[in-house]
Amino acid sequence: MSENQDLQKSFLETVKFDDKGLVPAIVQDFETGKVLMMAWMNRQSLEMTLEKKKACYWSRSRQKLWLKGESSGNMQNVHDILIDCDGDTLLLKVSQTGGACHMGYQSCFYRKTKDDLSMEICDTLMFNPEDVYGKQS
């Protein structure tokens, strides 16, 4: 048995962070199974998530801890955290307040590829981003 599959190890020992100290976290609605987003965690944001049961990420663009919903109010209550066979990807099952996407959709995956490789909207708008984040100049 590879060390990554050892059930005797604790969860935190099993997580493999990449060369930037990050691990991707897929976020799925606890009830509907809809995939809402993917974000990145460093060890500190993962520990905060475990402690508070609210999803907390590492913002790669802003280079800071990011408690999901701190600006928008659209928090994610974390029910379960799963880890994959290689230990290098997490799956969070959450209850999402409002929409997950900063574009106002329920899911960040709101565009689907069509046969001609154009895209179409395939999700529901939950809020107007300007109402939540203010007008972008």
For residue 8, give Cα distances in angstroms to 3, 17, 70, 87: 10, 19, 36, 14
Asked if 130 touches a copy of itself (CB under 8 A), the answer is no
Pick from 63, 118, 128, 137 the residue near a copy of itself by CB under 8 A. 118
Complex with a copy of itself: residue 29 or 75, whichever CB lies closer: 29
Complex with a copy of itself: residue 64 or 122, whichever CB lies closer: 122
Sequential DSSP letters for the chain: --GGG-TTS-HHHH----TTS-EEEEEEETTT--EEEEEEE-HHHHHHHHHHSB-EEEETTTTEEEETTTTTS--EEEEEEEE-TTSS-EEEEEEESS-SSTTSBSSS--EEE-TTS-EEE-S-B-S-HHHHH----
Pick from 121, 124, 130, 131 the residue near a copy of itself by CB under 8 A. 121
Q: Decide: 16 and 4 in contact? Cβ < 8 Å.
A: yes
Find the binding residues for a copy of itself in span 7-26 (CB under 8 A): 7, 9-12, 14, 24, 26
Asked if 122 touches a copy of itself (CB under 8 A), the answer is yes
Asked if 133 touches a copy of itself (CB under 8 A), the answer is no
Find the binding residues for a copy of itself in span 72-101 (CB under 8 A): 80-86, 89, 91, 101
Binding site for a copy of itself (CB under 8 A): 5, 7, 9-12, 14, 24, 26, 28, 32-35, 37-38, 50, 80-86, 89, 91, 101-103, 105, 108-113, 117-122
